[in-house]
Structure 1
Amino acid sequence: MSSIHNLDLNLIRVFDAVMEERGASRAAARLGLTQSAVSHALSKLRRLLGDELFVRGPDRMHPTPRAEELAGPIRAALRQIEAAFQGGDFDPGTAETRFVIATSDYVTGTMLPALVRHLAREAPGVGFWIRPFNDLNLVEELDRGTLHLVIGAFGRAPARFVLEPLTVGANVWVMRTGHPATREPFLIDSLARYPHLDILIAGRGAMTAGGTIDQEGLERAYVSSNPMQLEGLLSERGLTRTVGATVSHILAVPPLVAATDLIAFVPRQLALQFRDQGLVFREPPYESPPLRMAMLSHRMMGAHPSVAWLRAQIMAVLHEDTASR
């Protein structure tokens, strides 16, 4: 680039959106532009930088090494510019912004509806982009500022992140109404008798014996029946378990369990939500730690007035929802 005076800030916004969305049409929808406007902006950037930046593939656009090199500094610069223009105050009644939250479909289906209803009244100009965190590197995304918050089940977290407890709930074994396991005491032996439906919502990192995956120092629960614990319990009795299926979305569990003899280990709240759709549940026949949901944010980004306000709203809405149940 010959001079900073040749640079239109909107080109940088387009670059950042294409880098994150990996597609011109998705970037256009995110920015409220036409696809042709995004393509035109990319052409300008390519000429200014003397690099192709993105190469079109069968289903997405792939960044060049030069684009990968630019992505971090550009994201950080945009974050600083946004913070400078927002200033030190945040007025939810007049704010027009969008928060990016990474979470599971379980949280999206059980916790977020009350929050979205509440904020539609309190902050009508605020929007959300709910990103599924199955394949996200949460540490990298939080460090880059491409996520405002993450909601999930975590163990330890690096010191540069803030981990705030949200809810605590039990887990249960769920099965269809009329399942053979409902006609007998639900014991550890029962877990070897019927096929399991495992839920694996985190696919990166090294799995630990504690039922978590380590992702660059962030311990993240993978929300399944904790096979290491179960296999240990069954092995002591000379038994093994059978995995009938594995899914990546917890909301896929109710219809699968309702139509088969599969049994699954899920949060009690989910089992209660779907019990009128042909499901029953049983308490685990062994000591099982509760599911602890928490909110994760970066100490720097999470302290911004807008994000601090959002964190407070989430806390208040969950407290109100828990009190009403």
Structure 2
Amino acid sequence: MIMMKNIDHLSLDGRSLYMLKQIYEHRSVTETARMLGVTQSSVSHSLDRLRGLLGDPLFLKVGRAMVPTERVESMMGEIDQVLEGIEALYHQSDFDPLNSTDRFSIICNDFEHDLLVPAIFSRLNQEAPNCTLRTHQQLIMGNVCLKKGVADLELCPYPPKDSSDLVISKLCSDRQITYYDPDVRDAPRDLEDFVASDHAILSLGTNEATAIDTQLSSMSRKRRVSYIGPNFTSAAMVVRGTNMLATAPSRLAGSIFRDLAWVETPVELEPVDFYMVWHVRHRHSPRHKWFRDLIKTVASDLPETSQVCKETIARRTVANDAKGPKRKHAVITDKAAIVRD
């Protein structure tokens, strides 16, 4: 329990506790003021008030950082509970999507955007026609954005490691296939051909290691990675018109990689899982729960991966046939790519 002697405990309010939590997370009065949309002097004044109420300096200035005292460290768990309780009181009433004018926001990369956002927006427009959907580009520190309240939730392939106050739920899985430009090259014939090719990969942060490279290393093989991009769209752009390969989720065959051919990757890989991540503060929010349920419904309605690939290739094959027999085209089955004259 937070022990408060000789002070009026009712002088502590939710706004001040939330500000204290933000200073604790950002270690900066300036950043807290910017995030809350108030002046730095306003935050400093509120902090001085809390220091007087609690009889503790709360934060010590060390260089440019604000270092929390032991008192603050011991209080943070209970402050989180108090703030969650306040939000639960605020959201006691049911959410009425039909009459709501709320804004919902999602952090995602290009894959999750192409795969889920159009259907999310369509369903949102039907069930909550006066609401607005805002998407943010996925950042390396997406979990920080959730803690700051920048977005309602994040859609991502890799759940954050710092997840003590985040809720993570799996939405769907996908297998990986290897894409190439059939106008420039044939499909890789085998593992040796795959390894000998130049590759484009995706890296969301500083870690550039992939499951493929781990598998190849276990087989004493190494591929050449000649391009490392921030998203799948960039990988598709550099593969197009070159002899490079890009290994990515199969559902991209119907969107970002739609004009490329694909082949089964000659390395055994685990399926890629995709998650929905949100801050625990929204646990009791009817509005937020309604939005989460909407996204889960959209994810559960996704078509089978193989069907997406078949439809994409069928359209490309018909288009190639219409151009005549002068150029080679790839016919893709569920097992491999067969190049025909």
Is TM > 0.5 for Structure 1 vs Structure 2?
yes
2:254 is aligned with 1:272? yes
Tell me whether 1:134 sits opposite 2:140 in the alignment: yes
**2:236 corresponds to which of 254, 269, 272:** 254
Mapped partners of 1:121, 1:62: distance in 2: 47
- The equivalent of 2:42 in structure 1 is 41
CA distance in 2, matches of 1:151, 1:3: 43
Judge conservation of contact 2:182–2:261 (CA < 8 Å) in 1.
Answer: yes
Structure 1 residue 81: Cα displacement: 0.5
SS of residue in 2 equivalent to 1:226:
helix
Residues 1:188 and 2:200 are matched in the alignment: no
Please say if residues 197 and 245 of structure 1, whose CA atoms lie closer than 8 Å, have aligned partners that are also in contact: yes
Secondary structure, in 3 states, of the residue corresponding to 1:134?
coil
Letter of the 2:292 partner, please give it: R
1:29-178 alignment to 2 at 5 Å?
33=37, 37-50=38-51, 62-66=65-69, 69=73, 73-87=78-92, 89-95=94-100, 101=106, 103-123=108-128, 124-125=130-131, 130=136, 132=138, 134-136=140-142, 149-153=153-157, 165-178=170-183
Unaligned runs of 5+ in 1: 205-221
TM-score (norm 1): 0.65
CA contact (8 A) 2:282 2:288 kept: yes
Distance in 2 (CA, whole Å) between partners of 1:93 and 1:56 is 51
**Shift in CA distance, 161/55, structure 1 to aligned 2, threshold 3 Å:** closer
Measure the CA separation in 1 of the matches of 2:33 and 2:243. Answer: 43
* Alpha-carbon distance in 2 for matches of 1:203, 1:294: 20
Gap change, CA 1:64 and 1:112, over 3 Å in 2:
farther
The change in CA–CA distance for 1:103 and 1:72 in structure 2 (over 3 A counts) is farther
Counterpart amino acid of residue 40 in structure 2: S
Give distance in 1, aligned partners of 2:186 and 2:135.
44
CA distance in 2, matches of 1:250, 1:173: 13
| Unpaired stretches in structure 2, ≥5 consecutive residues | 52-56, 309-341
Task: Single out whichever of 296-305 and 241-250 deviates more from structure 2.
Answer: 296-305
One-letter amino acid of the counterpart of residue 274, structure 1: I
Say whether the 8 Å CA contact 1:135–1:203 is kept in structure 2: no
CA distance in 1, matches of 2:154, 2:209: 15
C-alpha contact (below 8 Å) 1:194/1:263 kept by paired residues: yes
RMSD: 4.7
CA distance in 1, matches of 2:102, 2:65: 28
CA deviation after TM superposition for structure 1 residue 199, in Å? 2.2
Q: Give the distance between the partners of 1:261 and 1:11, measured in 2 at CA.
A: 58
* Structure 2 residue identity aligned to 1:270: L
CA distance in 2, matches of 1:183, 1:226: 21
Summarize the Cα distance change of 1:185–1:302 in structure 2 as closer, same or farther, 3 Å threshold: same
Residues 102, 131 of structure 2: 8 Å contact kept: yes
What residue number does 2:327 align with?
none
The one-character-per-residue Cα deviations of 1:34-60 (angstroms, maximum 9, x if unpaired) are xxx343431322321345969899xxx
What is the count of residue pairs matched by the alignment?
287
Alignment partner of 2:216 out of 230, 245, 258 = 230
Asked if 1:293 corresponds to 2:274, the answer is yes
In 1, Cα distance between equivalents of 2:142 and 2:291: 22
CA contact (8 A) 1:149 1:297 kept: yes
CA distance in 1, matches of 2:180, 2:33: 42
Distance 1:121 1:64 in 2: 48
Cα distance change, pair 84–282 in 1 and its aligned pair in 2 (3 A) = same
Per-residue Cα deviation, 1:11-46 (whole angstroms, up to 9, x for no partner): 444555666677357524xxxx4xxx3434313223
User: Which of 277, 294, 298 is residue 317 of structure 1 equivalent to?
Assistant: 298
TM-score (norm 2): 0.62
Query: CA distance change for structure 1 residues 261 and 53 in 2, over 3 Å: closer, same or farther?
Result: farther
User: 1:220-247, CA deviations, whole angstroms, 9 ceiling, x for partnerless residues?
Assistant: xx994531113334x3xxx431222333
SS in 1 for 2:191: coil
* Larger CA Rg, structure 1 vs 2: 2
SS at match of 1:183: coil
Post-superposition CA distance 1:252-303 (Å, at most 9, x none): 3222333654422111222431345x64332213444433434456889546
CA change 1:275–1:265 in 2 (3 A) is closer
Letter in 2 for 1:250: F
User: Using the alignment, how far apart are the partners of 1:297 and 1:92 within structure 2?
Assistant: 20
Percent of counterpart pairs with the same letter? Answer: 21
Query: How far did residue 71 of structure 1 move?
Result: 5.6
Residue 86 of structure 1: CA displacement? 0.9
User: Shift of residue 319 of structure 1?
Assistant: 4.2
SS of aligned partner of 1:92? coil
